[in-house]
Structure 1
Amino acid sequence: MTTVTTRAVQYPADNLTMIGHLALPAGTDRRPAVLIGPEGMGPSHVERHRAEALAELGYVALAFDIHGGRYLEDPEEMLARCMPLLADPDRMRGIGHAALNVLRAEPRADPDRIAALGYGTGGAVAVELGRDGVDLRAIGTVNGLTTGRPGEAARIRCPVWAGVGSQDPIMPPAQREEFTAEMQAAGVDWRLVVYGGALHAFHHPPVDHPAPPGVGYHPRHAQRAWRDIVALLDECLPVAQ
């Protein structure tokens, strides 16, 4: 196992002080880099662990923040913040660009070789960076299959991978179809994986507070989705060039 170093990084975004989790692989050389966005509740040990897992694979990884260092376990509070955010592409882009600037400024990160991944709200932020024309090598989103403003998906310059549970009531078939129709019309290299029987946030291990209806962990599909994301990075952003 390689030695991974981590540190918290503070940076301004969305009129808040965000607290990201930066994970660095062993060595001193520049490496490809990955942004990781959280579900609507905000970053937790799950995203931090994923950043460290990517650092183990040789990436510089930043698990970015969306709530100013807070984890919103109250569903009503979470929705009150996330729904307006998801309806405002410019706010999502501002949050994404702020994290991207932190990652690009890290000396170990290759600023020309970056991918953006995310879950739920964090996945929507990752896709909005693509719609904003950011030069990314890959975009991955689980549960965050939101559609953008007309025509802006044509700015996406990299492959887009999306994953969703077949029984996810928050991302129903109509919304999935709208997202994929947008990608197809824009000429994006896209793919969608539907994980049979999985609910919303199927990738997220159980938390110590009650999950809202329609939300549930699916261990097998969680592992499969992670393998699919790693395969996306291996294809589009290999550590060794």
Structure 2
Amino acid sequence: MGTITTRTVEYPADGLTMVGHLAVPAGAGRRPAVLVGPEGPGLNDFQRGRADALAELGYVALAFDLHGGRWFTDPQEMLARCLPLLEDPDRLRDIGFAALDVLRAEPRTDPDHVAGIGYGTGGAVVLELGRAGAGLRAIATVNGLITGRPGEAARIRCPVWAGVGSEDPIQPPAQREAFAAEMQAAGVDWRLVTYGGAEHAFHHPPLGTGQTVLPGVGYHARHAERAWRDVLALLAECLPG
């Protein structure tokens, strides 16, 4: 198998210049594609590496930006940016559709076979794309189980997979139940996997960069690997080989 190629892509969204990371597999033909949404602090090398790993598996992948090139080490700064976003579905959709347009415009992308995966705030973005009728083939959200405006989940026409840690105080049982009820009422093909003993952002290894984290946030190596395998299984099921 040949070498993937990567490049930085800049595009406007939410009044900012977003700085995404596009990874393209070797070869010449069109390939299914995946949006990768980062957690609240923003796009970093870990999620860029997710896009690279997907490209090595044969997908065109765009790790999209949330904050105009910023990555927050201070959780209070992150919350000041993310909480208003999470309360405004239209802003989330603007961020998501801008990235989706970039991904679909890539010549190697098969624009009819695109999935969205996201973590935390990035997961909320891909869910809102589904509720907006974006035509995704699969949606995966880890720690991003937000409920939407009444009735809009009926526009989701693809399988939805969601993962959450059992000890996540940011996505507590009431939030999980509301998400499940919304998906079920809308007739969505949905799954919710609860990873026992895991906290919020259990999928993300510590970075050693001086970043401080909120209470209830912690890495769980075994469940991080399991959740990644579950996401890859969803993509294998829903996107052509």
Q: Secondary structure at the match of 1:141?
A: strand
Q: Is residue 175 of structure 2 the alignment partner of residue 194 of structure 1?
A: no
Structure 1 residue runs of 5 or longer lacking an equivalent are none
What's the CA shift for 1:177? 0.3
Distance 1:38 1:231 in 2: 20
What's the CA shift for 1:210? 2.5
What's the CA shift for 1:215? 0.3
Q: Secondary structure at the match of 1:115?
A: strand
What's the CA shift for 1:138? 0.1
CA contact (8 A) 2:2 2:27 kept: no
Q: Secondary structure at the match of 1:8?
A: strand
Q: Is residue 182 of structure 2 the alignment partner of residue 182 of structure 1?
A: yes
Counterparts of 1:151-166 in structure 2, within 5 Å, are 151-166=151-166
Q: Deviations over 1:59-105 (max 9, x none)?
A: 00000000000001111110001000000000000000000000010
Distance 1:210 1:112 in 2: 40
Counterparts of 1:45-84 in structure 2, within 5 Å, are 45-84=45-84
In structure 2, the partner of 1:33 is 33
What's the CA shift for 1:211? 2.0
Cα-Cα RMSD: 0.7
Counterparts of 1:42-121 in structure 2, within 5 Å, are 42-121=42-121
What's the CA shift for 1:212? 1.6
Determine what percentage of the aligned residue pairs are the same residue. Answer: 75
Q: Deviations over 1:34-70 (max 9, x none)?
A: 0000000000011100000000000000000000000
Distance 1:106 1:161 in 2: 26
In structure 1, the partner of 2:234 is 232
TM-score where L is the length of structure 2: 0.98
- The AA in structure 2 aligned to 1:131 is R
- The AA in structure 2 aligned to 1:223 is E
Structure 2 residue runs of 5 or longer lacking an equivalent are none
In structure 2, the partner of 1:211 is 213
Q: Secondary structure at the match of 1:161?
A: strand
- The AA in structure 2 aligned to 1:72 is F
What's the CA shift for 1:188? 0.1
TM-score where L is the length of structure 1: 0.98
Spell out structure 1 runs of 4+ moving beyond 3 A: none
